[in-house]
Amino acid sequence: MQIGDTFRYQCAGENSDEEWSKLVPDWGHSLRVDFDGDYTGPYSVAMFHQLGCLDVIRQDYNTQDGPSALSLHCLNYLRQSILCLADTRVEPVTSWKGPGIVNVFSDYVCRDWEAVYSIA
């Protein structure tokens, strides 16, 4: 996948709510798991939880009320998820200040997120 800015998934705009809502399945991010015939749960698929959290933060960003308790939970959860995954890919620095400090317009080798949707 090529990482870079996109015109889709904006914070606000005509299609932003619809685009963001389609990232998490209609049933949300909780599911029950079959362990040898015993259904247990609910469980959450981390990828859907993370995408849902990004949407919560996006929605709070567009209000004057400040961050909600859920948004603060999401910031902490995403911070911890990022630390846990510890992506060590080297990104070239293009400037020492201002926006565009790091050039993220390069290729990533990603896991197949469509398989996650399919399996879940």
Strand partners, 93: 102
**C-beta of residue 120 within 8 angstroms of C-beta of residue 48:** yes
pLDDT at 69: 95
Tokens of 24: 């998490």
pLDDT in tens, 53-78: 999 999 999 898 889 999 999 999 99
Q: What's the pTM?
A: 0.79
pLDDT value for 55: 95
For the chain, the residue count is 120
Q: Is residue 82 pLDDT above 80, yes or no? A: yes
17-32: per-residue pLDDT in tens? 999 999 988 876 677 7
Q: Give the percent of the chain with pLDDT over 70.
A: 88
Q: Is the pLDDT of residue 43 over 70?
A: yes
- Count CB atoms within 10 A of the CB of residue 74: 22
3-state DSSP call for residue 33? strand
Please enumerate, as own/partner, the contacts of 104-107 that have beta carbons within 8 Å and a separation of 24 or more: 104/3, 104/4, 105/2, 105/3, 105/4, 106/2, 106/3, 107/1, 107/2, 107/3
With tokens 């290729």, the residue in question is: 107
Q: Which amino acid is at 45?
A: V
**Residues with Cβ within 8 Å of residue 5, at least 6 apart in sequence:** none
